[in-house]
Amino acid sequence: MVLAVIAVLAGGLFHALLRYEELAEKTAVDMTIRNLRSGLRWQIAERLLRGSPTETAALVGANPIGWLERPPDGYIGEHAGPSADLPRGSWYFDTDSRELAYRPNLTLHFEAPAGRSDEIRWRVIARRRGNLVLSAEGLTLDETTQYRWF
What is the span of the domain harbouring residue 35? 2-149
SS3 139: strand
Cα separation, 83 vs 94, in Å, equals: 10
Please give the Cα distance from 29 to 36 (Å, whole number). Answer: 11
Instruction: Say whether pLDDT at 86 is over 50.
Output: yes
Mean pLDDT, the chain, whole residue set: 90
Measured distance CA(93)–CA(53) in Å, rounded: 25
Total count of domains within the chain:
1
Distances (CA, A) of 114 to 39, 91, 102, 123: 33, 22, 18, 22
Alpha carbon 118 to its chain's center:
12
**Higher pLDDT among residues 103 and 57, named by residue:** 103
Res. 136: pLDDT tops 70:
no
Please state the rounded mean pLDDT for residues 61-87. 93
pLDDT at 22: 97
Question: What are the DSSP E strand ranges found in the chain?
Answer: 75-79, 90-94, 99-103, 110-111, 120-126, 128-129, 132-133, 139-143, 148-149
Query: Can you tell me the distance from the alpha carbon of 106 to that of 2, in angstroms, rounded to the nearest whole number?
Result: 32
What value does the mean pLDDT take over residues 4-9? 90
